[in-house]
């Protein structure tokens, strides 16, 4: 428990439309960006309280508008809804002068999030949930969603940032990461195959790693997506590839023993079957390029981690100096293994998914 912060956090909660009482708090440390607390009443979990990292997410008003708009559509018997608790001024977030921006959401009890898929049922459920998310948002007006992180998955932007970091990085960091730098340059050339001009824009989650999917502990059923700050316009292969990097790979994101990093074909196939279980919702042009998403997303995350390492860890939280480099090397290793399976993935996706007309 975080007793030293309880008074401060209870004072924050007084600004929201919930019952006024003294709550207990438990810090959740799974995420890299925001500060997150589980709010309990006599040890029973009720809410999630989050401080939005304003250094990373500059447009908090836009983020909260995107989330509120998405929640209106994410209502279905096969999708468990999360609610935003309003402040006493009817806002979806509260700005505290000293500590910044805070939001409060309902907590879904008796749930679990997995860092990696341990069996095909988890992979299938993850695919089914990601597909359901996109089906429910298919008719959401794109104009209602602002780009809260402009060019979030824009490869040209990330390449430019990477190249700029090479010019300013310390000599010892350039030496330590020279293998990763060489791989980045090679892979950037290969990813020129992606042509977004032929693809429809969709409302995407943009951060569909497996531990952003809540599962029921009782049924092991995928319930909903969490960590919704990056909901905005994008391409489906973003969400597909981000899920695959943690579903088909059973190693930790910063695993230093790369022999533990694998591309698990049964888990990949189960995820695709989960997507298909919702019925057709993708166009042929999306399916044709989908396998490349499983290369693009781990690579672009790895490139961002490498760039942050070269920039002295300004973006991601790190617990030791070279953690961003370890993340990068792990992600690049999976990228390389996925590259070797591009033919296989293309075939599985083509045979496993039916395009809409």
Residue among 149, 126, 124 at smallest CA distance from 212 = 126
- The pLDDT assigned to 4 comes to 66
Q: Residue 311: is its pLDDT beyond 90?
A: yes
DSSP 44: E
**pLDDT, greater one: 215 or 6:** 215
The 10s digit of each residue's pLDDT in 84-125 is 999 999 999 999 988 899 999 999 999 999 998 989 999 999
CB–CB of 315/262 below 8 Å? no
Instruction: Give the model's confidence band at 316: pLDDT under 50 very low, under 70 low, under 90 confident, else very high.
Output: confident
Beta strands in the chain (DSSP E): 24-28, 35-41, 44-52, 94-96, 100-106, 111-112, 202-204, 213-216, 222-225, 232-234
Calculate mean pLDDT across residues 55-84: 92
**pLDDT, greater one: 289 or 254:** 289
DSSP state string for 98-111: TTEEEEEEE--SSE
Q: Residue 78: is its pLDDT beyond 50?
A: yes
- The pLDDT assigned to 321 comes to 86
Residue among 160, 220, 219, 191 at smallest CA distance from 293 = 191
Among 48-57, 197-206, 221-230, 299-308, where is mean pLDDT lowest? 48-57
The 10s digit of each residue's pLDDT in 151-189 is 889 999 999 999 999 999 999 999 999 999 999 999 999
* CA-atom Rg of the chain in angstroms: 20
What does residue 18 show for φ and ψ, rounded to 5 degrees?
-130, 170
Instruction: Give the model's confidence band at 1: pLDDT under 50 very low, under 70 low, under 90 confident, else very high.
Output: very low
Cα(231)–Cα(301) distance, integer angstroms:
17
Instruction: Give the model's confidence band at 356: pLDDT under 50 very low, under 70 low, under 90 confident, else very high.
Output: very high
Structural domain spans, the chain: 3-109, 120-352
Question: What fold does the segment set 3-109 form as a domain?
Answer: Phosphorylase Kinase; domain 1 (3.30.200)
- The pLDDT assigned to 328 comes to 95
Q: Residue 2: is its pLDDT beyond 80?
A: no
Among 49-63, 86-100, 172-186, 210-224, where is mean pLDDT lowest? 49-63
The 10s digit of each residue's pLDDT in 122-140 is 999 999 999 999 999 999 9
**Cα dist from 9 to 35, 88, 91, 167, 212, whole Å:** 12, 16, 18, 43, 24
DSSP H helices, 74-154, are 120-137
CB–CB of 180/188 below 8 Å? no
Side by side, the strands of the sheet bearing 94-96 are 24-28, 35-41, 44-52, 100-106, 94-96
Q: What is the pTM (predicted TM-score) of this model?
A: 0.90
- The pLDDT assigned to 314 comes to 82
Q: What CATH number matches the domain at 120-352, 3.30.310.80, 1.20.1250.20, 3.90.1200.10, 3.40.50.620? A: 3.90.1200.10
- The alpha carbon torsion through 89, 93, 96, 102 (nearest 10 deg) reads 150
Residue 251 in tokens: 């190693």
CB–CB of 289/282 below 8 Å? no
Fold match between 3-109 and 120-352? no
């Amino acid at each position: 428990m975080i007793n030293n912060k309880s008074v401060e956090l209870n004072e924050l909660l007084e600004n929201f439309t919930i019952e006024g009482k003294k709550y207990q708090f438990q810090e959740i440390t799974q995420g890299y960006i925001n500060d997150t607390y589980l709010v309990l009443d006599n040890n029973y979990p009720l809410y999630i309280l989050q401080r939005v990292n304003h250094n990373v997410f500059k447009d908090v008003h836009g983020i909260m508008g995107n989330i509120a708009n998405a929640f209106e559509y994410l209502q279905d018997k096969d999708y468990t809804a999360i609610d935003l608790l309003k402040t006493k001024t009817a806002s979806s977030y509260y700005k505290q002068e000293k500590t910044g921006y805070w939001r409060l959401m309902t907590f879904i009890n008796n749930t679990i999030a997995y860092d990696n898929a341990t069996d095909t049922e988890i992979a299938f459920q993850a695919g089914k949930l990601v597909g359901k998310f996109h089906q429910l948002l298919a008719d959401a007006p794109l104009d209602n969603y602002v780009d809260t992180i402009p060019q979030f998955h824009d490869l040209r932007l990330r390449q430019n940032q990477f190249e700029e970091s090479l010019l300013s990085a310390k000599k010892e960091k350039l030496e330590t990461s020279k293998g990763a730098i060489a791989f980045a340059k090679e892979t950037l050339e290969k990813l020129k195959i992606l042509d977004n001009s032929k693809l429809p824009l969709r409302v995407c989650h943009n951060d569909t790693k497996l531990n952003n999917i809540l599962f029921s502990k009782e049924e092991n059923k995928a319930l909903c997506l969490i960590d919704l700050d990056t909901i905005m316009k994008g391409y489906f292969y973003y969400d597909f590839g981000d899920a695959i990097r943690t579903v088909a790979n059973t190693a930790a994101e910063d695993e230093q023993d790369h022999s533990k990093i694998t591309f698990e074909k049964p888990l990949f196939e189960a995820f695709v079957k989960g997507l298909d279980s919702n019925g057709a919702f993708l166009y042929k042009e999306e399916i044709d390029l989908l396998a490349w998403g499983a290369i693009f997303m781990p690579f672009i995350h790895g490139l961002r981690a490498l760039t942050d390492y070269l920039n002295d860890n300004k973006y991601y939280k790190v617990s030791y100096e070279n953690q961003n480099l370890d993340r990068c090397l792990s992600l690049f290793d999976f990228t390389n293994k996925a590259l070797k399976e591009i033919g296989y993935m293309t075939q599985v996706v083509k045979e496993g998914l039916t395009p809409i007309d």
